[in-house]
Amino acid sequence: MEELQKLILTQGEVVNEEIIKVDSFINHQVDPTLMEKVGKKFAEQFKDRKITKVATIESSGIAPALMTAKELDVPLIILKKEPSRYLNSNLYQTEVYSFTHQKNYELTVSQKYISENDHILLIDDFLADGEAAIGAIRLFHKAHATVAGVGVLINKEFQPGEKKLNEQGIDVVSLVKIKSLKDKTIVFD
């Protein structure tokens, strides 16, 4: 997606060889026009997958996932990183390691929102190590739901996330693929 590439080049900040900040248009401040275009792009890519729900992990994936769900006219499920104090029963839970935060967290979703009848599309902002996506997919499998695919805005190809998902038979659609961040230079695939 050319528009997303341009924003990454002009507003992205390469922190080191593994991390790029895109907080001015995706993470902290969200560009709603861009998210609308992203939602349409993902909906077009996955339109024939019989998707019943779109899911994302809180919080940076919410904007693109919501716009995708709107375009597909299906509900959005938000997977929580912390179990609620009040909704702590009847949950699917799994432990996930966060590459960004360098720690484990408990990923949860209420059992009443995902079932064996669902074909779920997972949408996220980044794909790096793949652990968050794999954790989400574990939750879907606990519910015997089908994974329709994974859509990511930015795929850091130099990390193993896409390979791990492909090895599980999961189709990944990336709007932008970054090949390298070496020497603080963004190289697209």
Q: Which residues contribute to the annotated binding site?
A: 27, 128-132, 156
C-alpha distances (whole Å) from 83 to each of 79, 92, 111, 140 are: 10, 10, 13, 17
Burial label, 117 (beta-carbon count in 10 A; 0-12, 13-18, 19+):
exposed
**Contact (CB, 8 A) for 131 and 108:** no
CB count within 10 Å of CB 82 equals: 10
The end-to-end CA distance of the chain, in Å, is 12
> To which H or E segment does residue 39 belong?
helix 32-46
Cα gap 189→72, rounded to integer Å: 28
Phi and psi at 179, nearest 5°, equal -85, -35
Cα gap 53→69, rounded to integer Å: 7
Which residues carry a binding-site annotation for 5-phospho-alpha-D-ribose 1-diphosphate? Answer: 128-132
Which residues carry a binding-site annotation for xanthine? Answer: 27, 156
